[in-house]
Structure 1
Amino acid sequence: MKSPDECLNIQEIRDCIDEIDKQVISDFSKRFAYVKAAAKFKTSETNVKAPDRFNSMLQSRRVWAEEVGLNPDVIEKLYRDLVSYFIDEELKHWQSNKKSE
């Protein structure tokens, strides 16, 4: 993939952005697989929700965003929304596993 400075026109830039977005979405899917797998190690609904871990994770994502020059508020919102969805799905997965035990 070309660097932004190597792109010769807007279509090349858009193609590169699309490729990056495809990879980001694929990586979110991989992340979600780990989230579902984590459910088997959790013993309660509180462990699934893990509020301390959630808040700690958000703080580290803010730091990582700042390190690369991104707005930490935007990255926090992105992860807050994404991980809240993942937690809801993990909870469903955890509850389903508990019913089948």
Structure 2
Amino acid sequence: MTAADPSLATVRAEIDTLDSQIIDRIAKRQVQVIRAGVLKRGQAVETVHAPTRVEEVIDKVRTQAEFTGASPDVVEAAYRAMIGAFIALEVDVH
């Protein structure tokens, strides 16, 4: 390793910074998910699951991943996990 190579500690610190930014964005997304759940009150719980919308989001984020150089498979897996958790939260407020 040369002096120009980052240390593992430096790389991990950058990952920690990115994780903080991701968590901040997830919190902001959560606010909107809760708002959507409230707006869907009185509708069938199936409206919360919205499989067509889920696939629209997945298609969009896969395309964005390809454009930015991220792995579309990793992004899709992360989004499917996140969407599943948010659907459960939305059902609770629905």
TM-score, with length taken from structure 2: 0.84
User: Could you tell me which residue of structure 2 aligns to residue 28 of structure 1?
Assistant: 26
Gapped regions of structure 1 (runs ≥ 5): 1-5, 95-101
- 1:63-82 correspondence to structure 2 within 5 Å: 63-82=63-82
Query: How many equivalent residue pairs?
Result: 89
1:54 aligns to 2:91 (yes or no): no
Q: Distance in 2 between matches of 1:8 and 1:87?
A: 39
The one-character-per-residue Cα deviations of 1:27-66 (angstroms, maximum 9, x if unpaired) are 1111111101111211221211111101110110100110
1:7 and 1:13 in contact (8 A); partners too: no
- Which ranges of structure 2 fall in alignment gaps of 5 or more residues? none
Q: Distance in 2 between matches of 1:7 and 1:36?
A: 44
Higher RCO (CA 8 Å, separation ≥ 6 residues): 2
2:39 is aligned to 41
Measured after TM superposition, the shift of residue 83 of structure 1 is 0.5
TM-score (norm 1): 0.78
Q: Structure 1 CA distance, aligned partners of 2:74 and 2:11? A: 23
Aligned to 1:3: none
**What stretches of structure 1 move > 6 A for 4+ residues in a row?**
none
